[in-house]
Structures are given as structure tokens and as C-alpha cells.
Structure 1
Amino acid sequence: MSHPLRLDFARLLLNSHALLLGEPLADASLSLPEATRWLYEDAPFCLLAHSAELDPRFIYANMAAQRCFAYDWNAFFGMPSRLSAQAPEQTERQQMLDQVARDGFITGYRGLRIDGKGQRFWIEDGRLWNLLDDAGTVVGQAVAFSDWRPAPTA
């Protein structure tokens, strides 16, 4: 199992975000260890990442995301990311992921998700981007969002 404070993974998140979106994900004055800890423990936004497999699995979820989705690190890590959306929303989610794969990133994303307790909620104004290794190979995708709200029950 991976550790949430891995410097190499934080570097991947930070560098990919800066390259594709043209802005830093964390304060540029922070050292890599400080930025790694801040992203995981103190960032005021949810930050998640999944692998580039055919059925992607979560490989990162900061504390804000763990609270939002009601899963701890051990439950999140390795879980298929498709489980964060109910079946009707999975098609829309896949179309969004395909667009990110093609274009490198999207901003202003809105989507319906489900937490670990079965409660539905809306992600608002999310930004998604490819995670690129040093060779420029896509090794996953990440999402960050600050706004979410409960979805009305049917």
C-alpha cells in the first residue's frame, strides 16, 4: 500500500497541474515536503487521483476528500474509482474522463457522486487533469474541487 505523504507522488501532482493548467496547485514558496504535507492534511479542497488502468483505481485522496467521500485512506486506496458514481452517472463520468485523456485537463466540471455511506452529493467547479511522468506518459488522472453539496433525495 502506498503512503499519502510520498514526495515523488506529490511532485507528480504538482508538476502535472502546473504544466497542464498553468498554475500551481500549492504555494510555490513551500518546499516539496511542506507542499506534500499541506496537500494531504491542510488543503482547503478535495484532491483525488486514480491510476491509468482500464478500470482505474484510487491511488490518492487527501484528508478533505476522505471527509467528503466518507472513506479513510485504507478504504480509498485501491478502490475502483467508478464506485464513486452510481451506475446512471458512470456514463457521464466516463465521457468526462475521456475528454481529459484527449485534452489533458478540463475545468468547471460538475458531477454527481456517492459517498461511502451511500449519500449522493454534487461536485461543483472541479478541475481534472492527466498525471504525466517525466517522460510525458499519462500515469493517471487527478481531480481537485472545493465546492460540493448534498444532492436532493429522490
Structure 2
Amino acid sequence: MIRPVPDASNQFYLDHINLLRQNYERLTGKTFGPSDLTGIDFAEAIYQAPYVVVSHGTEPDPIFNYANLAAQKLFELPWTEFCQLPSRQSAEVPNQIERQKLLDAVTSQGFMENYQGIRIAKGGRRFWIKNVTVWNLHDADGIYRGQAAIYSSWEDVVEKI
């Protein structure tokens, strides 16, 4: 089942955003998002932020379960398509092995900073994502809930002729 687009009626998925925030801050020691906001205002700010915030769940082939507007624009995917996409498909097949190595390292270490890699948008545009932080998500009971990523730097891959 596809979750509805984040808006005031579902509190912009405040519980999920709090999960991302708590794990990010605990693992990295850094602030996640605007420190002057709380509650639904904070969740809405993350959804509308000018940087990418994405997460995927714990399925055998993990599927994105959150993508803010910046991510939707960058990957050329509306919420309903993004949240059906296996996260591995955000990279082309040759780059999926590198991506999986990153996720395996994050699983064992808790988080990783300064990752960069090539991703692909729905329309075929390839782009570098840079200075990415990826971290594990565990709920209050310590149950693994997936992984998330945040980054504000990307640029199109320039093909040399």
C-alpha cells in the first residue's frame, strides 16, 4: 500500500521524521533540520527543504518509504512512484554494487559521511550525489527500521565526447 503524499492531514509523517532525526542526531552528534522548529512544523520543513532526505524500509529488496520534495524533483519521481521504487534502482546496475557496499558498511558502522556516487533520474539523467550522510534507523525498542540519507550537493554527470 502506498502511503499518501505528506501533508497536514498526516502531519507530514511526523513520527517517521522524528525517527530519522533521533537516529541522525544520536549517531552523528549533529543537528538534523531546522533547530528552531518542532512537531508538524519541523516535519513540513523537512518535506519542503532544499536538500534531499530519503529513507527505505527493511524489505528484502528495500523500498523507499520517504522522499522529500527535493528528492522527488532530483529523481523526477512523484511521491507515489518514489515510494514504490526499490532503493537499489536509484543507481544504474553497474553502480548498484558500489551502493550496496556503502549500505553494508552503514549497517555495521551505524552511519557513514562524505559518500558520493552516481544516481539516475527517471528520465535517464545521470548525476553525482556528494557529501552524503547515510545512517541506520532503529526505533525506541531497538528494532531496525531501515536506512536514511541526507545531502545537499549534486551535479549532473557531464558526458565527454
CA positional deviation for 1:13: 1.0
Which residue of 2 is the match for residue 66 of structure 1? 72
**Counterpart of 2:103 in structure 1: which amino acid?**
L
CA distance in 1 between partners of 2:80 and 2:27 (Å) = 29
> Is 1:145 the equivalent of 2:146?
no
CA positional deviation for 1:53: 1.8
**Cα RMSD, aligned residues only:** 1.1
TM-score (norm 2): 0.91
CA distance in 1 between partners of 2:152 and 2:14 (Å) = 23
**Counterpart of 2:21 in structure 1: which amino acid?**
L
CA positional deviation for 1:24: 1.7
CA distance in 1 between partners of 2:85 and 2:144 (Å) = 20
Which residue of 2 is the match for residue 17 of structure 1? 24
CA distance in 2 between partners of 1:60 and 1:53 (Å) = 14
Structure 1: where are the runs of 5+ without partners?
A: none
Identity fraction in percent: 39
TM-score (norm 1): 0.95
CA distance in 1 between partners of 2:47 and 2:98 (Å) = 28
> Is 1:40 the equivalent of 2:41?
no
> Is 1:113 the equivalent of 2:119?
yes
Which residue of 2 is the match for residue 55 of structure 1? 61
**What secondary structure is seen at the aligned counterpart in 1 of 2:16?**
helix
**What secondary structure is seen at the aligned counterpart in 2 of 1:96?**
helix
CA distance in 2 between partners of 1:68 and 1:14 (Å) = 22
CA distance in 2 between partners of 1:143 and 1:101 (Å) = 13
Which residue of 2 is the match for residue 29 of structure 1? 36
> Is 1:125 the equivalent of 2:135?
no
CA distance in 1 between partners of 2:113 and 2:16 (Å) = 22
CA positional deviation for 1:132: 1.3
CA distance in 2 between partners of 1:60 and 1:94 (Å) = 19
Q: Number of aligned pairs? A: 153
CA positional deviation for 1:72: 0.7
**What secondary structure is seen at the aligned counterpart in 2 of 1:6?**
helix
CA positional deviation for 1:78: 2.0
